[in-house]
Structure 1
Amino acid sequence: MHSIQGARPEGGDDEQPTPDRITADLLIRARELTGPAHSAAVGGLPEALRLVAGYSAGWWDADGVPTAASGKSVRSALALLCAGAAAAADPDDAMRAAVPAAVAVELVHEFSLLHDDVMDGDRTRRHRPAAWTVFGTASALLTGDALLALAFQVLARKSGDTDATRVLAAAVVELCRGQAADLRFASGRDDPPVGVGDCLAMIEGKTGSLLAAACELGARSAGAPPPTASRYGMFGRELGVAYQLVDDLLGIRGDPGRTGKPVGADLAARKLSMPVVAALRSGTKAGARLADLYGEPDDLTEEQILEAADLVRAAGGTAFAREHARHHTELALRALADASPRPSAAADLRLLADRLIGRDH
């Protein structure tokens, strides 16, 4: 069994690994540690659902042929690293004990992606067609339902911790609350107008809740007392908010070759992400022009999408989102310090947080 605590890429004695390489190694090791249990859980599904689940996870193509398009495994890595950080004894043993929690949060994440792509009408995920466009809406939703049930089955069977299932259940309810808010934003019913506070609450639910659960469950798996586990959860929540704010920025100016989505995909969909809302509520001429574009009855042209991106920046929306991403990252690191983690694991968690916030895809 491979540990991911203090993981470093192999290389010559004179080779100095970069932060990006170290982070990539952490995520790879997380997949190695959780992979067998994750595969076993999905492998127990009926064949039709298993095919969709594996495609959604990036394990194989629509015909079941293995591929290399899997997700980042951020949530499972956070669960494992928080377990190692909170360990009273052997951190490797703590991380092995956290594997069920890590798998459970990944299964919930895949459930949310399958459902979100249907609800949002997103046709692309991880540089290829979204599962619902390949297997049909009904199959994608049903597979998502199965993965959600499977997450609780994995957690309950392995941990025997009823409080752990309560933590995950609360996160799922909060995630759904965030998605409901996102759907309201997308509906065009802007009454009352969506403000930055509304966006922040939506982000905390849709993204922050599951990262919080991953970190708290990882710490609980290591035997951390509830107050300490809650601090790890706060670290994950604040990191999740920062992570989503960066994602919002990439949805406006991200490189399609890196993000796997078309240029300005969020703008084309007239999504009310945090930078857009900040721009719309800025009281500037650029914000007013952006409101006009968002009110256009027809699909935005490529030129209009590029103009919208420039307007978000000119109205201060981009700077606002970047500043808030930095602020929530600072709050996350403060909560991590308050948990008094093991130094080596804390260093890996800080590095992972830094790379997540500084990513370009």
Structure 2
Amino acid sequence: MQPANAAIDTASVTALLARGRTLAMPALREAVGRLAAPMDTVAAYHFGWIDAEGRPADGDGGKAVRPALALLSAEAAGAKPETGIPGAVAVELVHNFSLLHDDLMDGDEQRRHRDTVWKVHGPALAILVGDALFALANDILLELGTPEAGRAARRLTAASRKLIDGQAQDISFEHRERVTVEECLEMEGNKTGALLACAVSIGAVLGGADERTADALESYGYHLGLAFQAVDDLLGIWGDPESTGKQTWSDLRQRKKSLPVVAALAAPGPAARRLGELLTADAKRPQSAGDFDEAEFAARASLIEEAGGREWTTQEARRQHATALAALDGIEMPAPVREQLIALADFVVVRQR
């Protein structure tokens, strides 16, 4: 999905993501190593650093978008990128806390082409390791002992609360026949936008940025998070399993009220009505999705597309991308940093996982 009037600077984005991994990952490994056994090794498995038998593995824990943004935001405030490392680590810890719990709550058995932690080590350890990562995140910031660290910790706490609110909303939506587009956007803003917003402001706060600058960067990150989630929702239905690491039609299997589904249901026409009838019938048979064959999922995906849900979500990703970039107007930062923030935003909207 190409954002309007944008040329993707792939080389720049690749370099930024590599820098995020290079600078933040050693600090993240060190932080995770502080966890008590066996949580340290379970967390290492989750991040892809070891395999299920404890042997070293070559996983890097993902694309490192959030660490890249945290380091870049420090530069937006005129500080060195290394200033943002504690913020990058703290945000990654909270993000992975949420993944550990979400995988268990959603029943996901695969992440990044490997069995999820709860499948390998059991639900209890998945919960405990998630809790440990969450607690560690604020420690990483507060042990800096600076006023900026306190401001950063408050932003992280606020984002964490919104993230948890978003997950609760997401779960509740699975048991409702209808969800409005506005409700879905609010949920996704909480679940995805809030933490990405924190990532792109926390480095600036640690670098001494004033609240106006930090708030503008947070707005950029929030709308970038909504664009990110819109793309993720598209991949959750039409994504290639070889790229996503999840089953075909994964969001349909879980009955997620994602943006394409909600937008399709809100549309007029026979495809929307038929989709609504199917989902209403599902609500009366709680386990029915487990009995569906691939043809049924394909038919539902086709109805969503016919009703306009796929195209609406594609356009929404572009709208949120544009809003994110507009948030950068009016705040001072070095020109190369602004260009890199734009390049990262473009990458998020066209990414394939």
| 2:203 maps to 1:218 | yes
Using the TM superposition, give the Cα deviation of residue 68 of structure 1 relative to its aligned residue in structure 2, in angstroms: 2.4
Q: 1:338 aligns to what SS in structure 2?
A: coil
| 2:95 maps to 1:109 | yes
| 2:43 maps to 1:64 | no
Equivalences for residues 111-150 of structure 1 within 5 A? 111-150=97-136
> Quick one: which of 242, 247, 254 aligns to 2:232?
247
> Quick one: which of 69, 83, 88 aligns to 2:74?
83
Cα-to-partner distance string for 1:176-226 (whole Å, 9 max, x where unaligned):
11111001011x233xx3100000000010000001111111111221101
Using the TM superposition, give the Cα deviation of residue 22 of structure 1 relative to its aligned residue in structure 2, in angstroms: 3.2
Distance (Å, rounded) in 1 between the aligned partners of 2:143 and 2:57: 30
Q: Is the 8 A contact 2:197 2:220 kept in 1?
A: yes
Moved more, 322-331 or 280-289: 280-289
Equivalences for residues 1-361 of structure 1 within 5 A? 19-69=9-59, 70-87=61-78, 91=79, 93=80, 95-158=81-144, 160=146, 161-186=149-174, 188-190=175-177, 193-294=178-279, 295-296=281-282, 297=285, 298-299=288-289, 300-361=292-353
Cα-to-partner distance string for 1:70-125 (whole Å, 9 max, x where unaligned):
211111111111111221xxx4x2x1111101100000000000011111111111
After TM superposition, the score normalised by the length of structure 2 is 0.92
Distance (Å, rounded) in 2 between the aligned partners of 1:58 and 1:137: 18
With over 3 angstroms needed to count, the CA separation of the structure-2 counterparts of 1:64 and 1:22, relative to structure 1, is: farther
Q: Is the 8 A contact 1:83 1:218 kept in 2?
A: yes
With over 3 angstroms needed to count, the CA separation of the structure-2 counterparts of 1:164 and 1:255, relative to structure 1, is: same
Distance (Å, rounded) in 2 between the aligned partners of 1:159 and 1:101: 14
Q: What are structure 1's unaligned runs of at least 5 residues?
A: 1-17
Distance (Å, rounded) in 2 between the aligned partners of 1:57 and 1:346: 30
With over 3 angstroms needed to count, the CA separation of the structure-2 counterparts of 1:99 and 1:35, relative to structure 1, is: same
Amino acid at match of 1:54: A
RMSD, aligned α-carbons: 1.3
Using the TM superposition, give the Cα deviation of residue 231 of structure 1 relative to its aligned residue in structure 2, in angstroms: 0.3
Distance (Å, rounded) in 2 between the aligned partners of 1:290 and 1:159: 55
With a CA cutoff of 8 Å and minimum separation of 6, indicate the structure with the bigger relative contact order: 2
With over 3 angstroms needed to count, the CA separation of the structure-2 counterparts of 1:345 and 1:159, relative to structure 1, is: farther
Q: Is the 8 A contact 2:224 2:324 kept in 1?
A: yes
Distance (Å, rounded) in 2 between the aligned partners of 1:22 and 1:66: 30
Q: What are structure 2's unaligned runs of at least 5 residues?
A: 1-7
Q: Is the 8 A contact 1:182 1:202 kept in 2?
A: yes
Q: Is the 8 A contact 1:85 1:343 kept in 2?
A: no
Using the TM superposition, give the Cα deviation of residue 159 of structure 1 relative to its aligned residue in structure 2, in angstroms: 5.4
Using the TM superposition, give the Cα deviation of residue 158 of structure 1 relative to its aligned residue in structure 2, in angstroms: 2.1
Amino acid at match of 1:346: R
Using the TM superposition, give the Cα deviation of residue 283 of structure 1 relative to its aligned residue in structure 2, in angstroms: 2.4
Distance (Å, rounded) in 2 between the aligned partners of 1:50 and 1:240: 29
Q: Is the 8 A contact 1:80 1:99 kept in 2?
A: yes
After TM superposition, the score normalised by the length of structure 1 is 0.90
Amino acid at match of 1:58: G
Amino acid at match of 1:351: A
Distance (Å, rounded) in 2 between the aligned partners of 1:338 and 1:62: 49
Amino acid at match of 1:301: D
Q: Is the 8 A contact 1:58 1:68 kept in 2?
A: yes
Q: 1:122 aligns to what SS in structure 2?
A: coil
Distance (Å, rounded) in 2 between the aligned partners of 1:339 and 1:33: 26
Q: 2:187 aligns to what SS in structure 1?
A: helix
Amino acid at match of 2:193: G
Amino acid at match of 1:286: A
Q: Is the 8 A contact 1:55 1:64 kept in 2?
A: yes
Distance (Å, rounded) in 2 between the aligned partners of 1:350 and 1:55: 33
Cα-to-partner distance string for 1:134-180 (whole Å, 9 max, x where unaligned):
10000000000000000000011125322211111111111111111
Distance (Å, rounded) in 1 between the aligned partners of 2:309 and 2:151: 40
Distance (Å, rounded) in 2 between the aligned partners of 1:77 and 1:108: 16
Size of the alignment, in residue pairs? 336
Moved more, 69-78 or 208-217: 69-78
Distance (Å, rounded) in 2 between the aligned partners of 1:292 and 1:159: 57
Distance (Å, rounded) in 2 between the aligned partners of 1:66 and 1:285: 53
Amino acid at match of 2:223: E
- Work out the percentage of aligned pairs sharing the same amino acid: 45
